[in-house]
Structure 1
Amino acid sequence: MTRRTRPRVGRLLVALASAAALAAVTAGGVVYVAGRLRPRGNDAEPLPGDDLLPGATLVETHETMLTASAAAVWPWLVQMGYGRGGFYTFDVLQRLAGVGIVNADAIDPAWQDLAEGDRMCLAEDLSLAVALLEPERCLVLSSQGGSAPADSGMDFDFTWAFVLAPTASGTCRLIVRERYVLHTPAAARMVRSARPVARLMTHGMLHGLRRRTSP
């Protein structure tokens, strides 16, 4: 994030990295499930929200095929967040990281009112801004406009995009993309060292959404 709003993302990444070390031993099934998912998408594929953070120095894209329609998947994306529906990833990692997130197993009408300019919380004192929202098509979150405590974390900006691409058969692809601008060598080291954990969490999210949206 910018120097004015450096959040404690660094601390969250450290917590997740520590949790993953234990989870790799205690949750072999987590790694197995993640390995069955399509691990990477096409980083060069143009997606909504790419223009919100030009000059990204790190881009990572993941995707999976869902058997549900974009209309059926969309409510699950809208209700994500701390204090809302969670992020549908592996519970063991969230518990070990101590982030206090509970994943919902049902759509809650009270969590369906998300709009551009709102904030989605990642933790109790950390949020991202809803930078782009097109119903049943894309949700893009951004560190720019988010909120954070005054004490600093790592110095980077990023966007987190969730894109639904309908297919002719009525199903859809779910594409998740992270784009980073890393402002310092320390930020680059932190983000790159956390990539294996972030990939595992993303795989867990994709698996969780597949399970929740399957007919």
Structure 2
Amino acid sequence: MRYRPITAGLVAAAACSAAAAYCAWVRPWVMTWGATEDEVAAKLPGDELLPGADGIATRAITIDAPPAAVYPWLAQMGPSPRGGAYTYDWIENLLGLDMHSTDRVLEEYQHPAVGDTIGHGAEASRIEIAEPDHAFVTRTADGDWVWSFTLVPVGQSTRLISRNRFRLPGLGKKLAMIPMEPGSLIMERKMLQGIKERAEALAHAE
């Protein structure tokens, strides 16, 4: 039995096929986990800050608590001494982000204002929108990443919609983002679930 040697052409073809399958079948779910079609299509606070985005991820979760119990966890997000990101701290800290997710409301960070900075150095973001119980939006110093949270009341619950808009200058950055997208879902899914648990506990304790 003769075996066909593996050539660079075959490897390239397989890689292209895998990328095409990912973009067609997997990527839509990765980029819109938990969100409805209407939420994905909706214009949300902060969209205007980066209208020409190269990529958009809209993810969402239903929280059994009113917006007033959700917003405090958004307002205090960020590296120590702020409240963390409510996701896998050990992964965040492998990257040197100094995240320590808290289970309590930090009163000293409950009044964020437009222009305030979260984080330090190249990782710092500026608060662009801080509307209690409605929207919280940050943008990186280079303007290439806008992260918005929109709170939509639904009866006694809240739909928390997280949207990442990003600009990726150059083909290299665009290609590099593709394998990072599933990882971003893993981290953000945990974060949304972490906010949900904390907000519901806060609401039920009142």
1:175 aligns to 2:161 (yes or no): yes
* 3-state SS, counterpart of residue 51 of structure 2: coil
Count of aligned positions: 166
One-letter code aligned to 2:182: P
Secondary structure at 1:43's aligned position in 2?
A: helix
Identity of aligned residues (%): 33
| Equivalent AA in structure 2 for residue 174 of structure 1 | L
Counterpart for residue 98 of structure 2: 100
Deviations 1:58-96 (A, max 9, x none): 111000000111011111110000120001012342344
Structure 1, residues 153-194: CA drift from partner, whole Å, max 9, x if none?
xxx711000110011x22100000001122111221232221
Pairing 1:164–2:151 present:
yes
Q: Which moved more, 1:56-65 or 1:84-93?
A: 84-93
Q: Is the 8 A contact 2:149 2:163 kept in 1?
A: yes
- Name the amino acid aligned to 1:160: W
Q: Distance in 1 between matches of 2:123 and 2:166?
A: 17
Where does 1:94-133 land on structure 2 (aligned, <5 Å)? Answer: 94-121=92-119, 126-133=123-130
Q: Aligned partner of 2:130: which letter?
A: L
Q: Which runs of 5+ in 2 are unaligned?
A: 1-31
Length-normalised TM-score, structure 1 = 0.71
Q: TM-score, normalised by structure 2?
A: 0.74
- 2:69 is equivalent to residue 72 of structure 1: yes
Question: Equivalents in 2 of 1:118, 1:98: separation in Å?
Answer: 22
Cα deviation for residue 205 of structure 1 reads: 0.4
Are the counterparts in 2 of residues 43 and 59 from structure 1 also a CA contact under 8 Å?
no
Residue 75 of structure 2 is aligned to residue 89 of structure 1: no
Per-residue CA deviations over 1:5-31 (Å, capped at 9, x if unaligned) read xxxxxxxxxxxxxxxxxxxxxxxxxxx
Question: Relative contact order (alpha carbons < 8 A, sep ≥ 6): 1 or 2 greater?
Answer: 1
Please tell me the root mean square deviation across aligned C-alpha atoms, in Å.
1.9
Describe how 1:13-32 pairs up with structure 2 within 5 A: none
Between Structure 1 and Structure 2, whose CA radius of gyration is higher? Answer: 2
Q: Which structure: greater strand fraction?
A: 1
Q: Moved runs in structure 1, 4+ residues, more than 3 A? A: 95-98
Residue of 163, 168, 174 corresponding to 1:188 = 174
Question: 2:196 matched to 1:204?
Answer: no
Task: For 1:211 and 1:166, locate their aligned partners in 2 and report how far apart those are by CA, in whole Å.
Answer: 17
- Give the C-alpha shift of residue 133 in structure 1: 1.7
- Larger mean CA deviation between 57-66 and 124-133 belongs to 124-133
More helix by share: 2
